[in-house]
Amino acid sequence: MDYVLEIAPGQPVAVVEAKRAYRSARDGLQQALDYAKKLEVPLAIATNGSEIIVHDRSAGTERKVDGFPTPVEAWDSYRTFMKLEGPEADLLLEPLSRRKVSTDGTIHEPRYYQALAISAVLRAIARGDQRILLLMATGTGKTFTAMQIVAKILGYQEKVRPEENYRVLYLADRDVLLTQPMRNDFGPAFGNERLQRVRLGADQSGELYFASYQALHQGAAGEELLEQFPRDFFDLVIVDECHRGSATANSRWRGTLDHFASAIHLGLTATPRDDTVHSYEYFGNPVYRYSLRDGIEDGYLAPYRIRRVILDADAEGWTPDPGQRDLYGREIPAGVYTTRDYERALSLLPRTKAMAHHLSGLLRQNPEHKAIVFCVSTQHADDVRSALVVENPDLVRADPEWVVRIVGVEEEKARLLEAFCDTESASPVVATTSRLLSTGVDVPDLRYVVIFRPVGSSIEFKQIVGRGTRLFPEGGKSVFEVVDYVGASQHFSDPDFDGTPPDITIETTDGSGDVVESISEPGSDSTGTGAPAPAPADPTLNEPEPEFRTEDPDDVDNPGGTREPRTTYVVVDGVVTVTSEAAMVIDRSTGEPRMVEVRTVVEGTMSGYGDAASLGTLWADESTRHEILESLAGRGIDLDGLRALADESGSDLFDVLLSMAFQTPVRTRAERARRARESHAEEIRAQSEAGRAVLVGLLQRYEEFGIDDISMRTVRLRPISNAGSITEIASAMGGPDALREAVRQVPDWLYGA
């Protein structure tokens, strides 16, 4: 759109689509209407400078006018369109808070969807609604939006009720869901002195209160802290992560809401209706919805890859030998143990070791990229941490806190969590947890979300995945990866909400768990029906999963309570390996993830350009090479992963692709460079000293860094620059054209060798 007309900052009332003078104004009318629908405004205006056409969605009229609507006319149209009749509509005209600033001093302005969410909530309040639901995907700024809603309400109340305090309660079920909003949003906007944290007493002199339901319900029955607040004390109760139990009639959250029944209840959630029916029954349908797909398509959230890894203990189950005893000498009950049993009935430490070995292979590609590993319990989280320490002694030697456990019973929990969330902190890099980090924790530079426990609820699954959706361009993060060891990715069932994974990674493993090839089924149509081929059977998908609980079974949020004695059998002997590693892409015909096999995709793409013999010539040409790479990326191939695989062995990405497509041997870059030097020795000797320096230097740079380093800019780098400046080298070789031709022919030598 060309222009947005606002009646107040962040409050649009009309959009204008402007066309050039030689175009008809009507050429822009449909565009204006589309923008008006997206911004929820009544007036769609199109103009070419001399002609103005106004489409009024509130009146259902469309007409030519002599001038643009006045602010009063536009506001009246907006109020009619939104059915705002009372003076409370002026809530929308209150200014936004501009006190939150970025590190560079830039004022944090609401994004367009946040402004729409603010307006939607304020309209509901103006109409007298008492229960309001706001649905925004994880990472899209729900707490910042909530802060701006409060800022507008307080500004309005100071004008119409200056003699009374308007009191707000921000309610959550975890400490981190309170400390981060206070520190990051409400503190900067209102000042810390106006914030009250409810812990042991009921100070009734404040305005903005933050409390967990555990704190409000502490004390004996009838003497709970909650009872010290009058029922009409709060005017607004904001329920963060309201899907986590607030609407269940017998929950403590519901008891809190019932106590403050006269207040407006605003529920914040990232969960669509099918996953949290009870919350919708209590709050009603969302007044505004912004999905993960919306955030990805708008460029505000990071897209994701899905990597599905199957361990043989999960694929086939594990059966104890007759009479086999565990680490503590207890006889293990007979039967087949599967994914749902591990770390609950039976702790299979070789399985943990195999997972740690495989995950380390991913993490070591970029050891500074942060990862969260979600485990079954606090003990399991410690076992995984220990296994990762064993797999990565060099990284742990350099940084003893490269991998840590962050759970409620950890004494250093607060310090480790703060450091892990700090984008300026290089340590810790990997955090193992059970449920403590599944909601509300903001780690913008998180690159891996690793799932190593069954997730029985789509609610929790989407919260877990949401840990990775925040973009962090300052650190180069534009995508993240979900690594699924237990089949939890079955919960990607709502493509409209979840968005679509744009990229895939396929690998297979040998008996030791090292990656060699994939055994996934191809995702192309092989049924003859026109429908996509079904995904290969996943051994964990048909297993009944554990019941979802809003409290951690290990009491991570309330350490110190009585626990049942440990009954899990612990097995330390045996070998578990990764049997296959597949990935998911979105089937465009169904909108749902399906399994694919990388060899099939690579073979189909590469053979479309020619055979193994002729592809070298195409790969040597930069434009054709980029075309092939774009085609592979467009079909979901994780080129970064394949490059890392090639770099690890000193090979060329081209040879890795050839091997996958045509089963040719994989050459190293050193071998290609050597053959090029030997095959073209006469041509190299015929050059001037500067020319020899260019050709030999480029081959050396290729050997060290790959084909992308063969360019004119490399002539300015060592070892070539030792022969002189680029101007001197060009002059010695007979001019710039001769130099450019020498640089151009090196790829031909390499891929013809």
**Long-range CB contacts (< 8 A, 24+ apart) of 571-574?**
571/318, 571/320, 571/326, 571/327, 571/332, 571/346, 571/347, 571/348, 571/349, 571/350, 572/327, 572/349, 572/350, 573/350, 574/318, 574/348, 574/350
Tokens of 69: 């609507």
Identify the CA nearest to 501 among candidates 594, 405, 408.
Answer: 594
pLDDT for res 404? 96
Give the number of other CB atoms < 10 A from CB of residue 527.
10
535 pLDDT band, cuts 50/70/90, is very low
How many whole angstroms separate alpha carbon 505 and alpha carbon 307?
6
What are the domain boundaries of the chain? Answer: 3-82, 90-290, 304-542+568-578, 597-662, 669-752
How many whole angstroms separate alpha carbon 127 and alpha carbon 146?
18
How would you classify the pairing of strands 578-587 and 592-596? antiparallel
Q: pLDDT, tens digit, for every residue of 606-660? A: 988 988 888 999 999 999 999 999 888 877 777 877 887 677 678 899 998 998 8
Tell me whether domains 90-290 and 304-542+568-578 share a fold: yes
* Cα angle, residue 27 at apex, residues 23 and 29 outer, rounded to 5°: 135
How many whole angstroms separate alpha carbon 296 and alpha carbon 499?
7
pLDDT for res 245? 56
pLDDT for res 390? 97
pLDDT for res 562? 38
510 pLDDT band, cuts 50/70/90, is very low
Question: Measured between alpha carbons, how far apart are the two ends of the chain, in Å?
Answer: 54
Q: Give the residue-averaged pLDDT of 494-521.
A: 45
416 close to 437: Cβ distance less than 8 angstroms: no
255 close to 225: Cβ distance less than 8 angstroms: no
- Burial of 64 by CB count in 10 Å (0-12 exposed, 13-18 middle, 19+ buried)? exposed
- CATH 3.90.1570.30 applies to domain 3-82: yes
Q: At what angle do helices 726-733 and 736-752 cross, to 10 degrees?
A: 80
How far is C-alpha 308 from the geometric centre of its chain's CA atoms? 17
Tokens of 311: 């361990």
Q: Which helix (H) or strand (E) holds 605?
A: helix 598-607
* Residue bearing the bigger pLDDT, 41 or 559: 41
619 close to 632: Cβ distance less than 8 angstroms: no
* Residue bearing the bigger pLDDT, 726 or 496: 726
* Residue bearing the bigger pLDDT, 330 or 645: 330
Residue 557 has pLDDT above 70, yes or no: no
12 close to 6: Cβ distance less than 8 angstroms: yes
pLDDT for res 564? 41
pLDDT for res 643? 82
Tokens of 24: 């008809």
304-542+568-578 folds as: Rossmann fold (3.40.50)
DSSP-assigned beta bridge partners for residue 8: 11
Secondary structure of 5-25 in HEC code, one letter for each residue: EEEECCEEEEEEEECCCCCCH
pLDDT for res 628? 94
Q: pLDDT, tens digit, for every residue of 188-246? A: 999 999 999 998 777 888 899 999 888 888 876 667 888 889 999 999 999 998 876 54
pLDDT for res 222? 64
- Burial of 672 by CB count in 10 Å (0-12 exposed, 13-18 middle, 19+ buried)? buried
Per the prediction, the chain carries an average pLDDT of: 83
Buried b / exposed e over 232-253, threshold 16 CB at 10 Å, is ebbbbbbbbbbbbbbbeeebbb
pLDDT for res 556? 39
Handedness of CA 521, 525, 529, 531 (dihedral sign): positive
Residue 59 has pLDDT above 60, yes or no: yes
Q: Which numeric CATH code is attached to 90-290? A: 3.40.50.300
420 close to 431: Cβ distance less than 8 angstroms: yes
Bin 23: left if φ > 0, else alpha if -120 < ψ < 50, else beta. beta
297 pLDDT band, cuts 50/70/90, is confident
Low-confidence winner among 365-374, 438-447, 450-459, 561-570 (lowest mean pLDDT): 561-570
Handedness of CA 138, 144, 150, 152 (dihedral sign): negative
Handedness of CA 517, 380, 492, 143 (dihedral sign): negative
* Residue bearing the bigger pLDDT, 265 or 522: 265
How would you classify the pairing of strands 61-65 and 52-56? antiparallel
Give the number of other CB atoms < 10 A from CB of residue 59.
14
How far is C-alpha 741 from the geometric centre of its chain's CA atoms? 45
How many whole angstroms separate alpha carbon 531 and alpha carbon 601?
18
How many whole angstroms separate alpha carbon 450 and alpha carbon 371?
7
Residue 375 has pLDDT above 80, yes or no: yes
* Residue bearing the bigger pLDDT, 223 or 412: 412
Handedness of CA 56, 61, 67, 72 (dihedral sign): negative
506 close to 584: Cβ distance less than 8 angstroms: no
Residue 249 has pLDDT above 80, yes or no: no
Q: pLDDT, tens digit, for every residue of 571-582? A: 988 888 777 666
Tokens of 568: 């899990």
How many whole angstroms separate alpha carbon 626 and alpha carbon 371?
31
| Amino acid in the structure at residue 332 | I
Q: What is the DSSP string of 688-706?
A: -HHHHHHHHHHHHHHHHH-
Q: Give the residue-averaged pLDDT of 660-665.
A: 83
Low-confidence winner among 66-70, 649-653, 692-696 (lowest mean pLDDT): 649-653
Q: pLDDT, tens digit, for every residue of 576-605? A: 877 766 666 544 444 455 555 667 778 888
28 pLDDT band, cuts 50/70/90, is very high
pLDDT for res 9? 92
pLDDT for res 591? 45
Q: Give the residue-averaged pLDDT of 359-387.
A: 93
**Long-range CB contacts (< 8 A, 24+ apart) of 183-190?**
184/143, 184/144, 184/442, 185/100, 185/143, 185/144, 185/146, 185/147, 186/143, 186/147, 186/150, 186/210, 188/99, 188/100, 188/101, 189/97, 189/99, 189/100, 189/147, 189/151, 190/97, 190/99, 190/151
Residue 476 has pLDDT above 90, yes or no: no
438 pLDDT band, cuts 50/70/90, is low
519 pLDDT band, cuts 50/70/90, is very low
Q: pLDDT, tens digit, for every residue of 164-193? A: 889 999 998 877 788 889 999 999 999 999
Buried b / exposed e over 419-436, threshold 16 CB at 10 Å, is bbbeeeeebbbbbbbbbb
User: How many H helices and E strands in the chain?
Assistant: 27, 22
How many whole angstroms separate alpha carbon 386 and alpha carbon 364?
16
Q: pLDDT, tens digit, for every residue of 465-475? A: 888 888 998 88
